[in-house]
């Protein structure tokens, strides 16, 4: 394969609609309110260049067409689909099982209606666990219910397995991220100011300061899980109570305060990499801790079990990775300020694929912001890996 100069990118809006009945509306507006799921994606491709291979980027709750990697790959000659789920830009009621069905609809569209013979899942960031979840169910379909017990026929959906899976700057799951970032200092879920001083890493009066002792981190992680399980118990009890009432009140939303308190944000000696100390991918971690975009800040009962509960979520990257047999590539960004350093290696070790490869890009941050050389390196790694597996046709 020879490298071609960057070329003009053509953008095509992709709309997929399919019927689905739900006991109540989960998304605001037209999408989902009339018994129809409407999905929107953007297909990026070089002008005049055909391809039989499609690279699919999908995140459970975000849209990825503004990332540098999809556009870079399209400039290099790839056809790249940035696929939005039905919950795009609002994960309040997100059900991971339904996102898997959405991803499946895109892949069916690509292979059945658009002539693509091969599909590569590009699991970037939160899309990594989603890609693992999808591929595991496409290869070994089994799920018929959400963690809340609602029917969802993934097992009978006829999901088409991707031909390869890439995990790039990808964490293990939304649930694992929350379990490692939730603030264990919160005593009262309805009052974020009611806190345990010794567990509040943002309070300068806390006697535990970076670099943190091993004993403190162990206690901190234990208390994080205690808070997660306390919320889980309340969610299960509330959901059961609503079901017992047998009225038309079927769901409830709630707020989880202070969910961005990862000790690794403040202590760069914990799982060290090249990340910036005292910072995170959402900005200043103390500000993000109780800000509007923190992990799991707004959620419904069902959504919390599906995407945020480490005890219930089906979208766990490690357990799903074990069921993947197709070729897999893991790319770790060594200065990632979002994905905890151990996660990419853990994903690689868990993969059931006989053909699996891992690369670490020294100095690369999560978004490659201001890092064109690292972006080029990531694209070159992917291109070489795909070419060696005959996944490139240009």
Region 371-385: mean pLDDT is 97
Output the average pLDDT for the chain. 95
Decide the pairing of beta strands 253-255 and 298-300: antiparallel
pLDDT per position as a tens digit, 322-349? 999 999 999 999 999 999 999 999 999 9
Q: State the DSSP string of 29-51.
A: SSTTTTSEEEEEEEEEEETT---
Query: Is a pLDDT exceeding 90 seen at residue 303?
Result: yes
Q: Which residue has the tokens 């291109």?
A: 383
Q: Which residue has the tokens 């000790």?
A: 263
pLDDT per position as a tens digit, 120-141? 999 999 999 999 999 999 999 9
pLDDT band at 317 (very low <50, low <70, confident <90, very high): very high
Which carries the bigger pLDDT value, residue 28 or residue 188?
A: 188
Which carries the bigger pLDDT value, residue 331 or residue 24?
A: 331
pLDDT at 189: 96
pLDDT band at 1 (very low <50, low <70, confident <90, very high): very low
Query: Is a pLDDT exceeding 90 seen at residue 6?
Result: no
Evaluate the omega torsion of the peptide bond into residue 183 and state whether it is cis, within 30 degrees of 0: no
Residue 117, token pair as written in the block: 């013979």
**Residue extents of the structural domains in the chain:** 9-173+314-388, 176-308
- For 9-173+314-388, CATH number out of 1.10.3080.10, 1.20.200.10, 3.40.50.1820, 3.40.50.300 equals 3.40.50.1820
348, 207 Cβ separation under 8 angstroms: no
Cα–Cα dist 339/184, whole Å: 20
Q: Does the pTM exceed 0.85? A: yes
Write b or e for each residue in 341-376: b if 16 or more Cβ atoms lie within 10 A of its Cβ, otherwise e: bebbebbbebbbbeebbbbebeebbbbbeebeebbe
pLDDT per position as a tens digit, 154-181? 999 999 999 999 999 999 999 999 999 9
Q: Which residue has the tokens 């895109």?
A: 106
CA atoms within 13 A on the CB side of 259: 22
Q: Residue 106 belongs to what H/E stretch?
A: helix 96-108
pLDDT per position as a tens digit, 53-110? 999 999 999 999 999 999 999 999 999 999 999 999 999 999 999 999 999 999 999 9
């Amino acid at each position: 394969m020879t490298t071609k100069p960057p070329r003009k990118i053509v953008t095509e809006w992709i709309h997929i609609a399919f019927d689905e009945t739900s006991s109540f509306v989960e998304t605001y507006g037209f999408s989902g309110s009339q018994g129809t799921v409407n999905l929107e994606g953007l297909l990026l491709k070089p002008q005049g260049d055909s391809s039989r291979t499609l690279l699919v980027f999908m995140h459970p709750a975000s849209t990825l067409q503004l990332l540098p990697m999809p556009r870079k790959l399209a400039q290099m000659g790839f056809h790249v689909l940035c696929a939005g789920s039905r919950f795009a830009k609002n994960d309040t009621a997100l059900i991971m099982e339904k996102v898997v069905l959405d991803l499946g609809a895109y892949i069916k569209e690509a292979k059945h209606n658009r002539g693509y013979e091969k599909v590569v899942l590009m699991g970037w960031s939160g899309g990594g666990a989603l890609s693992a979840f999808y591929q595991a169910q496409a290869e070994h379909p089994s799920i018929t219910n959400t963690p809340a017990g609602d029917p969802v026929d993934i097992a009978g959906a006829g999901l088409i397995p991707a031909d390869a899976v890439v995990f790039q700057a990808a964490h293990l799951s939304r649930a694992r991220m929350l379990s490692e970032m939730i603030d264990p200092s919160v005593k009262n879920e309805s009052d974020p100011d009611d806190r345990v001083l010794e567990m509040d890493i943002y309070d300068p009066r806390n006697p535990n300061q970076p670099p943190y002792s091993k004993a403190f981190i162990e206690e901190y992680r234990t208390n994080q899980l205690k808070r997660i399980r306390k919320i889980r118990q309340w969610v299960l009890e509330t959901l059961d109570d609503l079901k017992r009432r047998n009225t038309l009140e079927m769901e409830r939303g709630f707020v989880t305060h202070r969910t961005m308190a990862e000790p690794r944000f403040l202590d760069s000696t914990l799982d060290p990499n090249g990340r910036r100390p005292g910072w995170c991918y959402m900005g200043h971690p103390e500000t993000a801790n109780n800000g509007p975009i923190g992990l799991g800040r707004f959620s419904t009962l069902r959504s919390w079990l599906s995407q945020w509960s480490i005890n219930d979520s089906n979208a766990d990257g490690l357990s799903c990775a074990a069921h993947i047999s197709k070729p897999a590539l893991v790319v770790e960004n060594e200065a990632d300020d979002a994905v905890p350093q151990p996660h990419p290696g853990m994903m690689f070790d868990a993969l059931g694929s006989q053909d699996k490869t891992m690369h670490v890009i020294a100095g690369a941050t999560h978004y490659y912001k201001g890092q064109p050389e690292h972006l080029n390196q990531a694209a070159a790694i992917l291109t070489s890996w795909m070419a060696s597996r005959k996944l490139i046709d240009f």
